[in-house]
């Protein structure tokens, strides 16, 4: 059974210029022990979606639809109920560790407090768990590091501390929002390796938010591609790389480093994502899509429909033959 089930989620922000629909009818699910990657450019709604799940949105936002953790509906829970769930049942890793760490408190005090907030254990026991947590994420001399302040650590070490803090209470759901984006390439690789190791030990459902399909390939079982607030393609990672179906996914794949594609029309995604204040009718990718047809620019937008290959689904008016042909051409060029 799915641990996290999101159905028809709509997250809208009130602004002076009007409502901004950051998430527009997203449905997805993740099983325990699995990693779902949510991939897309900045502003596509992936972070708004993760904050909706965690109940961390500002008061200017409204959330509609359904978000269930196991059997429990999260939309409509009070602030105190959500606070209890965060840290107990679900935790989040942010791009910037300083979002979660208090700069004027020693690492050890913060970790001990995080344990005791959610578990009835003695201070000695909480301390032991905190030291073990730091050791588990590869922090050398964890006893000594307990006395450090966050700013005394490198960016990679701070990220490890945040991961340790997120895992302290063995959450059932872990959301990692661009966990490696702010790090240099070497540290990025170390943190990805750490998360790969942890995923087999922590039997949690993990949602990994990223703009980088390379990170998805490293860590995820399934992937949902988001564009302008909607999911446009969903598949297992193997299926997505073998048979990519959506023109936007083709553009993301083509822009992965190290890919030299002969086909110019797949090489780059021209233009920028639309404003979510006044998004275009029909398929929101149409203004940038080299395959756009008249039908694409009119409502209703193409619905997410099964491709016939396992759980894979795509929202695009192109016929399956054309999608298979263009996707195969992209895969063929990658292998050439």
Fill in the per-residue mask, 204 to 243: x = in contact with ligand SF4 (CB under 6 A), - = not in contact: ----------------------------------------
Site for ligand SF4 in 301-330 (CB under 6 A): 302, 316-318
Q: How far is the CB of 272 from ligand SF4 (least distance, A)?
A: 16
Q: How far is the CB of 275 from ligand SF4 (least distance, A)?
A: 17
**For 210, phi and psi rounded to 5 degrees?**
-155, 160
Piece of the chain touching ligand SF4 by CB under 6 A; list 55-63, 120-128, 233-241, 289-297: 289-297
Piece of the chain touching ligand SF4 by CB under 6 A; list 22-30, 153-161, 176-184, 280-288: 280-288
Fill in the per-residue mask, 245 to 274: x = in contact with ligand SF4 (CB under 6 A), - = not in contact: -xx---------------------------
Binding ligand SF4 (rule: CB under 6 A), the pick from 21, 205, 285, 312 is 285
Those residues with Cβ within 8 angstroms of residue 187's Cβ, 6 or more apart along the chain or in another chain = 154, 155, 156, 159, 180
301 DSSP 8-state letter: P
Farthest-apart Cα atoms in the chain, separation: 67
**For 311, phi and psi rounded to 5 degrees?**
-90, 5
Binding ligand SF4 (rule: CB under 6 A), the pick from 25, 109, 155, 291 is 291
Q: How far is the CB of 255 from ligand SF4 (least distance, A)?
A: 16
Tell me if 289 contacts ligand SF4 by CB under 6 A: yes
107 within 8 A of 146, measured Cβ to Cβ = yes
Piece of the chain touching ligand SF4 by CB under 6 A; list 207-215, 218-226, 253-261, 292-300: 292-300
Q: How far is the CB of 193 from ligand SF4 (least distance, A)?
A: 35
Q: Look at the block and give the residue holding tokens 């203004």.
A: 287
**By CB under 6 A, how many residues form the interface with ligand SF4?**
14
Rg of the chain on CA atoms, in Å: 21
**Mind giving me the DSSP string for 3-71?**
EEEEEEEEEEEEETTEEEEEEEEEEEEEETT-EEEEE--TTSSHHHHHHHHHT---TTEEEEEEEEETT
171 within 8 A of 204, measured Cβ to Cβ = yes
Return residues touching ligand SF4 (CB under 6 A): 246-247, 283, 285-286, 289, 291-293, 296, 302, 316-318
């Amino acid at each position: 059974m799915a641990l996290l089930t999101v159905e028809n989620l709509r997250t809208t922000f009130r602004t002076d210029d009007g409502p901004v629909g950051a998430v527009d009818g997203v449905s997805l699910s993740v099983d325990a022990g699995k990693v779902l990657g949510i991939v897309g450019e900045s502003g596509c709604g992936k972070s708004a979606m993760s904050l909706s799940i965690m109940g961390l949105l500002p008061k200017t936002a409204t959330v509609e639809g359904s978000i269930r953790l196991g059997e429990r509906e999260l939309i409509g829970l009070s602030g105190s109920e959500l606070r209890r769930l965060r840290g107990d049942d679900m935790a989040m890793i942010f791009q910037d560790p300083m979002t979660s760490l208090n700069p004027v408190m020693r690492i050890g005090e913060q970790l001990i407090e995080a344990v005791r907030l959610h578990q009835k254990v003695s201070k000695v026991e909480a301390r032991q768990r905190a030291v073990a947590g730091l050791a588990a994420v590869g922090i050398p001399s964890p006893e000594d590091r307990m006395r450090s302040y966050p700013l005394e650590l490198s960016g990679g070490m701070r990220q490890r501390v945040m991961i340790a803090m997120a895992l302290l209470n063995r959450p059932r759901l872990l959301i990692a929002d661009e966990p490696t984006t702010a790090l240099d390439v070497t540290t990025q690789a170390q943190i990805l390796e750490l998360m790969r190791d942890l995923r087999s030990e922590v039997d949690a459902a993990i949602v990994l938010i990223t703009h980088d399909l390379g990170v998805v390939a490293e860590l995820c079982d399934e992937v949902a591609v988001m564009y302008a607030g909607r999911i446009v393609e969903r598949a297992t990672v193997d299926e997505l790389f073998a048979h990519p179906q959506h023109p936007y996914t083709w553009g993301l794949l083509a822009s992965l480093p190290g890919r030299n594609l002969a086909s110019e029309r797949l090489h780059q995604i021209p233009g920028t994502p639309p404003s979510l204040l006044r998004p275009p009718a029909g398929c929101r990718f149409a203004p940038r899509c080299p395959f756009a047809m008249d039908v694409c620019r009119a409502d209703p937008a193409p619905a997410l429909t099964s491709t016939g290959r396992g759980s894979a689904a795509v929202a695009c008016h192109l016929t399956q033959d054309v999608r298979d042909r263009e996707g195969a051409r992209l895969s063929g060029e990658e292998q050439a």
